[in-house]
Amino acid sequence: MYCTECECEYNGWKGKCPVCKTRLISPQPAQDRPSLEAKKYQDLLQAVQNNGGKICVKLTTIEFGRNRTWSFPYFGYGYGWTRLMAGEFDRLQISLRSSQVVKTKTIRFPYRGYGFSWTKTFHGEIAGVPITLEATEVARKKKYGFPYFGYGYAWTDRMAGTCGEDLSLTFTTTKTRRMNRRSFPYKGHGYAWIKEADLTIEYLET
């Protein structure tokens, strides 16, 4: 399902957007690509063209965040997200840092609480060229343990962006990490974050 306000697809959600409460629709509408000016852009463009018009870089999380909250009487919520990712391709250094993280929660009978969090926006650089990636697809899962422990997991599956008028950016999560923690008396806290991802930089031929 797709939110027209957040411009993001939410897998596993129905009804209203978990962020802005706008009614979710299907399918996703076409999107316009924003323009971007950046120094060293021509060098990056040339590198992509020299590699057949496409570069795929493996990114690895080098820093993640997590926290937890609870509400009366026994509802626990865990939030995990990727803070910093980095990668390299033929001396092209790439770094991405979360600049906007979304957190939401839900409860289920009798005392299970589920917290979900994911990166909505990454800001970073490719060889000195600033870029921005926005989430286009978010996944979530729920798990529970006896007697009342609930664990919620969410992560950004796909992101998209552009670099100038000639390069498109596609971010695809390839591996995630999950962790469960408990606190007295029945509070469950689930955490999930991106472990590895592929960033595809592609030349847009006109």
Residue 150's nearest CA partner among 176, 184, 115, 104 is 115
Cβ pair 158, 171 in contact under 8 A: yes
pLDDT of res. 36: 42
Evaluate whether 10 touches 22 at the Cβ level (below 8 Å): no
Contacts of residue 79, Cβ cutoff 8 Å, sequence gap at least 6: 66, 67, 68, 69, 103, 115, 116, 117, 191
How many Å separate Cα 113 from the centre of its chain?
Answer: 22
Instruction: For residue range 90-138, list pLDDT tens digits in order.
Output: 889 999 999 999 999 999 999 999 999 999 999 999 998 999 999 999 9
Whether the CB-CB separation of 131 and 12 falls below 8 Å is answered with no
Q: Is the pTM of this model over 0.95?
A: no
List the chain residues with pLDDT less than 70. Answer: 27-39, 206
Write down how long the chain is: 206
pLDDT at 48: 95
Residues 27, 200, 94: CA angle, nearest 5 degrees: 125
| Phi and psi, residue 204, nearest 5° | -90, 100
Do residues 147 and 63 touch, judged by C-beta distance below 8 A?
Answer: no
